[in-house]
């Protein structure tokens, strides 16, 4: 477990075998999130190749300002834009924490221009996370409906 906020980039294999940790960084090398089984990783900048290889759990968010991210992802994992309110809330909350704790100008710029930056994020979704509120808006709506009828 634990949380990492780094005002700067990470090297090769950042987040490898992550199981419960949460991290926000500003760049990463090759093989980011390799064999990840849980937790959440956010990368606010460039990333190397083979992202998500062997990833079986957790979620990862990548800012793609150069429109080059899909070619860098391992073909065994699904990528999508941030399509659920819960996913957007998770992403924005982590970036807010990152900005507060590091003073990152990049994080502050993203937050100040949220509606412009949100569509530039990709979410990496392994099969185990496909039916979570953060990855699937239908699941979030179903859970709200169940809780309102039960409560």
Strands 57-63 and 37-43, sheet pairing? parallel
Interatomic CA distance for residues 135 and 58, integer angstroms = 11
Instruction: Please tell me the predicted confidence (pLDDT) of residue 1.
Output: 85
Q: Within 13 Å of residue 19, how many CA atoms lie on the same side as its CB? A: 1
Return the DSSP state at 28.
B
In the chain, domain spans? 3-150
Residue 141 binned pLDDT confidence (cut-offs 50, 70, 90) = low
**pLDDT at position 55 over 80:** yes
Least confident of 5-14, 95-104, 108-117, 132-141: 132-141
Contact 8, 28 (CB under 8 A): no
Q: What is the mean pLDDT of the chain?
A: 94
Q: CATH fold of 3-150, please?
A: Pectate Lyase C-like (2.160.20)
Beta-carbon neighbour count of residue 107 at 10 Å?
24
**pLDDT at position 151 over 60:** no
């Amino acid at each position: 477990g634990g949380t990492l906020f780094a005002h700067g980039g990470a090297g090769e294999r950042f987040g490898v075998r992550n199981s419960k940790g949460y991290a926000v960084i500003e760049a990463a090398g090759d093989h980011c999130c390799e064999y990840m089984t849980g937790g959440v990783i956010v990368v606010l900048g460039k990333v190397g190749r083979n992202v998500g290889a062997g990833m079986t759990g957790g979620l990862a968010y990548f800012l793609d300002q150069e429109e080059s991210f899909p070619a860098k992802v391992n073909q065994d994992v699904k990528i999508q834009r941030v399509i659920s309110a819960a996913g957007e809330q998770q992403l924005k909350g982590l970036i807010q924490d990152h900005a507060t704790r590091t003073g990152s100008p990049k994080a502050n710029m993203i937050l100040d221009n949220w509606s412009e930056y949100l569509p530039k994020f990709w979410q990496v979704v392994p099969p185990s996370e496909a039916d979570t509120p953060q990855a699937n808006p239908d699941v979030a709506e179903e859970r709200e409906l169940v809780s309102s009828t039960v409560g």
